[in-house]
Amino acid sequence: MRHYMVIAILLLSAAARAEYPAGFEILKKMDGNMTAETRVFTSKMIVHGRRDTRTVESRSWTQGDRRAYTEYLAPPREQGIKMLKLDDRLWLYSPAADRIIQISGHMLRQSVMGSDLSYEDMLEDPRLSELYTAEVIAAETIERRPCWVLQLTAVKDLAYHSRKLWVDQERHIPLREELYGKSGKLLKKIDLKDFTQTDGRWFPLRMIFKDVLKAGAGTEFIMQSIEFNVPIPEHLFSKAALRR
């Protein structure tokens, strides 16, 4: 009898899964919301450390998925620091030392400004449909929003070998994400909140990152202003711009 019950449960599970949409199609729709030809935004990063909380403000210009330029505006200790991303390369300029250094190798795993984000996170291409396979494994509700739960597996060697995503079924935006290493160990959690509709897309104005291996209550990344598909001067995406 138990044998037949197990078979029945497996058949019901398979039937339910057959009704799920294609994971790759959901991922492509999500990418359409989260990426753009260009973005210009000012942001505030609130780092909730083990002993104190600090806020770092910046302005960023991004072009596609492969080029980005960021200038830090506050606090005074970080003011004038600049970061340049070109494809899979990353440079950092420190005005205190008047020096440009390339962030590579083991340095990529280091924390950015003491936050729960690493330099590796800054380099990662956000167009997930080009980097992962996707399968819908469940349907769940988060904050009264029906979501598809996607299991993502990297198609090449990446910082995060797999991801679990909760994607809003109606708006095709991620509400929650878990990032895993090759061993299957959970490394980071991300909650996305305060969505706004602009330029025909839904986009989060607040993201909460938590490195589960790091002490503290996580890092809030808050968009203070954002523009999509606006012209960006070409000179910003050069090493010469770091010293200007």
Write down the residue that tokens 């988060």 correspond to: 142
- List, for residues 100-148, the tens digit of each pLDDT value: 999 998 898 899 999 999 998 887 767 899 999 999 999 999 999 999 9
CB count in 10 Å sphere of residue 112: 20
What is the length of the chain?
244
Q: Are 23 and 134 in contact (CB under 8 A)?
A: yes
Coil, strand or helix at 207 = strand
- List, for residues 180-220, the tens digit of each pLDDT value: 999 999 999 999 999 999 888 899 999 999 999 988 899 99
User: Region 217-228: what's the mean pLDDT?
Assistant: 95
CATH number for 23-243 (one of 1.10.10.10, 2.50.20.10, 3.30.420.40, 3.30.1330.60): it is 2.50.20.10
Between 94 and 65, the higher pLDDT residue? 94
Quote the CA–CA distance of 68 and 90 in Å, as a whole number.
9
Coil, strand or helix at 73 = strand
Q: Are 134 and 151 in contact (CB under 8 A)?
A: yes
